[in-house]
Structure 1
Amino acid sequence: MKNKGEMLIESLLSLVIISLALIPISNTLGKTSKTKNRINIAINKRIKEKNKLEEIKSLNYSEFLRYVRKDKDVTYKKTNTTYSLFTDESIYIIKVGEYEDVYIP
C-alpha cells in the first residue's frame, strides 16, 4: 500500500515540473508567432510599395500626371530637366513609402 501513495506523489510532482517548464515555452512560442506576423506584414507592405513604384514608372506621361496627383501615398517632385529638347515632358522624382526613384517619360 505504501508504494501506491509514493507513485501518486511522484506523478503529481512530475506533472507540476512539466507544467512549469511548458509555460515559458508556450509564452515564447506565442511571442515568436506575433513577431513573425508583424515582420510578414512589414515585408508585404514594402513589396506593395515597390510594385506601386514600378507600376507608376511604366505609365505614359499623361497617365503618370493623373495618377500621382490623385494618389495620396505617392509624393513627387518635378525636376528642371526635360526628357527631350523637343518636348516639355519633365523628369520627376517619385517616392512611395521608403522607396524613391526617377520617372523618365
Structure 2
Amino acid sequence: MDEFLDLFSDLLSTVNKFHEYAELKKYTVAEVAKHNSRESIWVIIDGRVYDLTRYVDKHPGGHLMIENMAGKDCLGTDAFANYHTARVYKHMLPPMLIGEAGTLASVLLG
C-alpha cells in the first residue's frame, strides 16, 4: 500500500510540474477584455489569464467583486493582491489558469 501511495504521489508531482511549465496559450489584453460579463469572466493576475466564470458565485466577497474585475488586469488595480493570501495564489488559482497575457505580436508569433 505504501508503494502505491508513493507512486501516486510521484505521479501527481509530475503532473503538477508539467502543468506549471507547459506552454500556456497567449491572449492579448483585448481578447481578455471581451470576457467581461457574468457569462464569461476572464481576468489577468500577474500576467496570467484566469477564467473565473464558474467561481463567481462561490467568492467569499460576493459575486460583484469578481464581476467588477471581469476582462481586466487585476494587478493593475491592486484589487487582487491587497485582499488575497498566498494560499489563494498557490491553491485556488491554478485550476482556473487558461493562459498568459501577451502582446499582439507575441500572440501572433506564438
Q: TM-score, normalised by structure 1?
A: 0.32
Larger Rg: 1
Structure with more relative contact order (C-alpha pairs < 8 Å, separation 6 or more): 2
Task: Tell me which protein shows more helix as a share of its residues.
Answer: 1
